[in-house]
Amino acid sequence: AQSVTQLGSHVSVSEGALVLLRCNYSSSVPPYLFWYVQYPNQGLQLLLKYTSAATLVKGINGFEAEFKKSETSFHLTKPSAHMSDAAEYFCAVSDRSSNTGKLIFGQGTTLQVKP
């Protein structure tokens, strides 16, 4: 069965600092992995996805993530945090074993950006 674990429920960075949000996955088949962002009172917005092409994936708003099979990780990074990046971030894995397309989400990481 597929699962994801997000390390750190809360991350705080200063504006302009590196953002690193950690995600580890467990999957019995090659995974499809996603990062979503949720702003207050809004739905989840897709940041980026990995579907077995390039291991370094670039997304919207300057975010990127690297798929590392040896470490079963898919960490999200951004070189320089902006105040507008404050939100909750979710890592998700597609349940490919069932071929339904449903996503299994991690518990989420709240990113705080300090001025």
Q: Closest approach of Cβ 105 to another protein, in Å?
A: 4
Tokens of 79: 């070189």
By CB under 8 A, tell whether 108 contacts another protein. yes
User: Among 25, 63, 74, 90, which residue sits at the site for another protein (rule: CB under 8 A)?
Assistant: 90
Other C-beta atoms lying within 10 Å of the C-beta of residue 5:
14
10 Å CB burial of residue 87 (0-12, 13-18, 19+) is buried
How many whole angstroms separate alpha carbon 33 and alpha carbon 90?
A: 11
Q: Closest approach of Cβ 90 to another protein, in Å?
A: 7
By CB under 8 A, tell whether 74 contacts another protein. no
Q: Closest approach of Cβ 39 to another protein, in Å?
A: 10
